[in-house]
Amino acid sequence: MEVGDVVEIEAADGTVEYFRIDRRCWRFGAQGGPSELVLRLDWPASR
C-alpha cells in the first residue's frame, strides 16, 4: 500500500467504503514492543 492507493474497507454491517491513502508512517512500540504501520485515509475516494 502506497500513498495515493485506494483501499476497500468493509464495515461490520457489510457496507463497503473506499478510502485513498493520504499518509503512511511507522509508529514504534514502547519499550521494544511491536511497531505498526499507520495509514491516514481521505474519505470518500473515487475508484
pTM above 0.85, yes or no: no
Say which residue the cell 475516494 belongs to. Answer: 45
Q: What was the pLDDT predicted at 14?
A: 93
Cell of 10: 468493509
Flag whether 47 is in a domain: no
Query: pLDDT tens across 4-45, in order?
Result: 888 898 989 999 989 888 888 888 877 877 888 888 887 766
Flag whether 1 is in a domain: no
Number of domains in the chain: 1
Q: What was the pLDDT predicted at 46?
A: 60
The domain in which residue 33 lies consists of 6-42
Flag whether 18 is in a domain: yes
Alpha helix positions (H), 1-47: none
